[in-house]
Amino acid sequence: MIVSPDAAKLDAEVDQSLLDWYRQLSLVERLRAASRSAALLERLRRAASTDR
Amino acid sequence: MPHPPTADLEALLRALSTAGVKFIVVGGGAAVIHGAPVTTLDLDIVPEQSAANVERLLGVLTSLGARFRPIRPGRDIAPAASHLAGTGQLNLTTSLGPLDVLCRLHDARGFAELAPAALRLEDDGLELLVIDLDSLIEIKSSTGRAKDQLVVPILRALRDRR
């Protein structure tokens, strides 16, 4: 695979400690965390669009 | 009652799994399962397309009030067996949030092509087939979508840790 300079920069920006934390979660815990985060982000997005 | 704008990944997967539907988790949900700390608005699955499995999948979708999204006046369409047996990508809304049923991926791979390398995982009574990490990276790298490009470095970092 060819890795562009931009891709290499993005690779370097991956938060390894966040990966460590997330990998401690079980499969089901990961699903729950992702769903809760998505719901919160969506509520924030809608609130932000209302506040404009 | 309107459907939620984001997917309850666990509830959707349990509904499908409990009904005996054969499918492979792909997309953002697969990234999450592999350990990527990302979020996704919808669940993407590639179903096995035997007549029996299409019937099981349709039963779950019907019970969840599935409709093609977005629902607009004059466009309130429930998925049918013929849709699920085809080659399209069905963007649905359900009572458990958005669900995309991908009969084929954008590179034309379907269940039969993905299944040999897929991972079989189990946790808390939930049994799943999930697209393997190498294939997920390959697919996310090739879509050309900005949101996929942002996830690829995280997936590569996960692969490097194996």
Q: What is the pLDDT of residues B87-130, one digit of tens each?
A: 999 999 999 999 999 999 999 999 999 999 999 999 999 999 99
Please tell me whether the peptide bond between B70 and the residue prior to it is cis, using omega within 30 degrees of 0: yes
Assess whether pLDDT exceeds 50 at residue A2: no
Q: How far apart are CA B100 and CA B26, in angstroms?
A: 10
Contact: A7, B152; criterion CB under 8 Å? yes
The DSSP call for residue B69 is S
Q: How far apart are CA A30 and CA B30, in angstroms?
A: 11
Q: What is the ipTM metric for this complex?
A: 0.92
Question: Which tokens go with B72?
Answer: 């607009």
Domains of chain B (ranges; CATH) run 9-156 (3.30.460.40)
Assess whether pLDDT exceeds 70 at residue A37: yes
Contact: A34, B35; criterion CB under 8 Å? no
Bigger pLDDT: B70 or B68?
Answer: B68
Question: Which tokens go with B56?
Answer: 């099981």
Contact: A22, B126; criterion CB under 8 Å? no
Which of B9, B45, B135, B151 is most worth mutating to test chain A (most A CB atoms within 10 A of its CB)?
A: B9
A23 CA to chain B: closest CA distance, Å? 5
Confidence of residue A3 (pLDDT cuts 50, 70, 90): very low
The H or E element containing residue B99 is strand B97-102
Kindly give, in sequence order, each residue whose CB lies less than 8 Å from that of residue B2, ignoring residues fewer than 6 positions away. none
Label each residue of A1-52 as H, E or C: CCCCHHHHHHHHCCCHHHHHHHHCCCHHHHHHHHHHHHHHHHHHHHHHHHHC
Q: Give the number of A-B residue pairs with CB atoms closer than 8 Å.
A: 76
Question: Which tokens go with A34?
Answer: 């992702």
Assess whether pLDDT exceeds 90 at residue A50: no
- Give the pLDDT of residue A52: 64
Confidence of residue B74 (pLDDT cuts 50, 70, 90): confident
Q: If you average pLDDT over residues B6-26, what whole number do you get?
A: 98
Question: Which tokens go with B18?
Answer: 């409990």
